[in-house]
Amino acid sequence: MRHDAAWHARISRVLSGALRVWGVRGTVTRDPADPDAFVVVTASGSAIQVRHHGAGGWTVTPHGRHAGLPGLLRRLREDLAPDVPAGRLVIGAQPLLGRDSGAR
């Protein structure tokens, strides 16, 4: 499955942002050998490939497949920042606080 540059930029920002939130120094780049994959390299030199399979989910090499982005991020946090407590990660726009969408 091929994705456009905007998709790659969004996913790269999500992965890079997660590294910052977890306090992990590292980089996220597109995998030159696979158009549907990224490589996360930490400052210590460990590298993890993250590949998107469309509806099939995500693969974190060498750890297996995850159905969605939350599972992918959980796996990366467990591997890259095991001492960081698990928390709730919200991705995307959220409704305005106090807004009642049912009232007119």
For the segment 88-102, the average pLDDT, to the nearest whole number, is: 54
Q: Report pLDDT digits (tens) over 8-22.
A: 888 899 999 999 989
Domain range annotation of the chain: 5-80
- pTM for this one? 0.78
For the segment 82-89, the average pLDDT, to the nearest whole number, is: 78
Q: Report pLDDT digits (tens) over 13-61.
A: 999 999 998 999 999 999 999 888 999 999 988 889 999 887 778 888 8
Dihedral over alpha carbons 62, 30, 6, 80 (to 10 degrees):
50
Q: Which residue has the tokens 């696979």?
A: 34
